[in-house]
C-alpha cells in the first residue's frame, strides 16, 4: 500500500521536492496546498499551484490550516506524511497529529542556528563561513523539531543573498532526495536540537526597507551587510552620490588601512565603480545605472 502524502508550500523548492515524491512509486500525493499568495502565475519562481494543475495533483486550499474546518479535512485525508517547503502558516500540534508518520519541514539554515525568518540575510550579516539546510520534524515551535538530516557547505565565496538562496535551494533538493528513502522505510535517526546553540529571528528583526548604506562600520561588517541586502532583481542597498541614490549590485572589501579619511568619503570613481572609505579600511561598490 502506498504512503499518503500532502505537500504544503511554494516556489521551486516545493515543486522539485514534489517531483521527487511523484517519481517514487511508494508515495501517493493525495494533495498539494500552495501558499495563499500563489496566484498560479510563474515569476522568478514557479507556481506550485500551476505545477500541480499540469500534473493532475489535487489542490487543497487552507485559508487557515489550524482552523477546525482544516483539521477536519486533514483527518479525512488519512495522511502518512505532511511535507512543508517554505510554507507560510504556523503549524499546530493538531495538524502535526493528522500525519501518522510525521509532519516534516525543509528549513534553509543549519538548525538550531537561524530559526525563524530571513535566515540567509542574518547569516551573511553575521559573517558566517558555513551555512546549511535542514530536514526536520515539525513541532508547535518555530523550526525547533528533531533533526532528520542536514547538509552543511562553505559560503565564504558567496557574493550576495540571492546566490546563497539559490545554493540553498540546490542543496535542499539534494538533501530531500537523499533522505526520502530513509523516511519511507523508517530508517532514520531523530536528533533533538541543542537549544544551547540556537538562534532565532522574528519577522520584524530585519527591515529591508532600511537599505541606505552606513559607511561608519568596519569594512568586514559593511561588506557582510551589503551582501545580505543584495537580492537581484528585487533588492539592492543604496548610497547617495551627486544628489541621487545609487543601487549597489556588487561589492568588494579592500583591506588597506584608512588612516585619515572620513567614513563615506569617495576616494575614487570610475564610471559605475566607486571606492569608499569605511571606519577602518575601504570598500569598492559597483552601482547600477550610473552615467
For the residues of the chain, what is the DSSP string, one character each? -PEEEEEEE-HHHHHHHHHHHHT-TTEEEEEEEE-TT--S--SSS--HHHHHHHTTPPB---SSTTSHHHHHHHHHTTEEEEEEES--SPPPHHHHHTEEEEEEEEESS-TTTTEES-HHHHHHHTT-SEEEEEEEE--SSSS-SPEEEEEEEE-TT--SHHHHHHHHHHHHHHHHHHHHHHHHHT----B---GGG--EE-GGG--TT--B---SS-HHHHHHHHHHH-BTTTB--EEEETTEEEEEEEEEEE----SSPPTT-EEEEETTEEEEE-SSSEEEEEEES--
pLDDT level of residue 204 (50, 70, 90 thresholds): confident
Q: Specify whether 256 is located in the same domain as 122.
A: no
**Residue 290: pLDDT above 80?**
no
210, part of any domain: no
Q: pLDDT digit string (tens) for 244-283? A: 999 999 999 999 999 999 999 999 999 999 999 999 999 9
Q: What are phi and psi of 216, to 5 degrees?
A: -85, 55
CA dihedral sign of residues 39, 40, 43, 47: positive
Q: CA 283, CA 264: separation in Å to the nearest integer?
A: 10
Share above pLDDT 90 across residues of the chain, in percent, rounded to a whole number: 98
Say yes or no to pLDDT of 41 above 80. yes
pLDDT at 203 over 90: no
| Residues 133 and 83 occupy one common structural domain | yes
Residues 156 and 64 in one domain: yes
Q: In this predicted structure, what is the pLDDT of residue 289?
A: 75
Query: What is the per-residue pLDDT for 43?
Result: 95
Same domain for 48 and 122, yes or no, is yes
Q: Taking a C-beta distance cutoff of 8 angstroms, is the pair 111, 134 a contact?
A: yes
Contact 30, 5 (CB under 8 A): yes
Span 88-105, average pLDDT: 96
Predicted confidence at residue 65, as pLDDT, reads 96
What range does the domain containing 265 cover? 219-288
> How much is the average pLDDT of 164-186?
98
Q: Do 148 and 259 have their domain in common?
A: no
What's the full length of the chain, in residues? 291
CB atoms within 10 A of CB 118: 17
Residue 211 lies in a domain: no
Q: What average pLDDT score do residues 100-122 get?
A: 98
Instruction: Look up the CATH number of the domain holding residue 100.
Output: 3.40.50.170
User: Residue 291: pLDDT band by 50, 70, 90 thresholds?
Assistant: very low
* 184 and 230 within one domain: no
Distance CA 36, CA 69 (A): 16
Question: What is the average per-residue pLDDT within 16-43?
Answer: 97
* C-alpha 2, offset from chain centre: 31
pLDDT bracket for residue 208 (50, 70, 90):
very high
Q: Are strands 273-277 and 266-270 parallel, antiparallel or unpaired?
A: antiparallel
Helices 161-185, 219-229: inter-axial angle, 10-degree rounding: 70
What pTM did the predictor assign?
A: 0.95
Name, in order, each residue with C-beta under 8 angstroms of 46's C-beta and a sequence gap of 6 or more: 11, 12, 15
State the total domains in the chain.
Answer: 2
128, 48: one domain? yes
Task: Determine, yes or no, domain membership for 57.
Answer: yes
Q: What is the mean pLDDT of the chain?
A: 96
Amino acid at each position: 500500500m502506498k504512503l499518503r502524502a500532502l505537500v504544503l508550500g511554494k516556489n521551486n523548492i516545493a515543486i522539485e521536492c514534489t517531483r521527487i515524491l511523484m517519481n517514487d512509486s511508494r508515495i501517493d500525493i493525495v494533495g498539494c496546498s500552495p501558499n495563499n499568495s500563489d496566484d498560479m502565475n510563474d515569476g522568478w519562481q514557479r507556481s506550485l499551484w500551476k505545477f500541480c494543475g499540469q500534473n493532475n495533483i489535487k489542490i487543497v486550499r487552507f485559508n487557515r490550516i489550524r482552523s477546525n474546518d482544516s483539521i477536519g479535512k486533514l483527518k479525512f485525508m488519512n495522511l502518512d506524511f505532511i511535507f512543508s517547503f517554505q510554507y507560510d502558516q504556523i503549524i499546530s500540534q493538531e495538524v502535526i497529529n493528522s500525519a501518522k508518520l510525521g509532519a516534516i519541514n525543509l528549513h534553509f539554515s543549519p538548525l538550531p542556528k537561524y530559526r525563524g525568518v530571513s535566515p540567509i540575510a542574518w547569516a551573511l550579516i553575521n559573517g558566517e563561513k558555513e551555512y546549511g539546510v535542514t530536514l526536520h520534524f515539525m513541532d508547535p515551535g518555530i523550526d525547533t523539531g528533531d533533526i532528520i538530516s542536514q547538509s552543511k557547505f562553505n559560503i565564504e565565496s558567496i557574493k550576495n543573498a540571492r546566490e546563497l538562496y539559490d545554493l540553498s535551494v540546490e542543496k535542499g533538493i539534494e538533501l530531500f532526495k537523499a533522505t526520502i528513502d530513509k523516511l519511507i522505510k523508517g530508517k532514520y535517526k531523530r536528533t533533538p536540537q541543542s537549544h544551547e546553540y540556537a538562534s532565532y529571528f522574528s519577522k520584524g528583526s530585519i527591515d529591508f526597507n532600511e537599505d541606505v548604506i552606513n559607511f561608519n562600520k568596519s569594512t568586514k561588517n559593511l561588506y557582510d551587510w551589503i551582501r545580505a541586502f543584495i537580492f537581484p532583481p528585487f533588492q539592492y542597498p543604496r548610497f547617495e552620490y551627486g544628489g541621487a541614490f545609487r543601487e549597489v549590485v556588487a561589492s568588494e572589501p579592500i583591506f588597506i588601512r584608512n588612516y585619515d579619511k572620513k567614513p563615506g568619503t569617495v576616494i575614487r570613481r570610475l564610471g559605475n565603480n566607486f571606492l569608499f572609505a569605511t571606519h577602518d579600511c575601504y570598500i569598492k561598490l559597483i552601482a547600477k545605472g550610473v552615467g
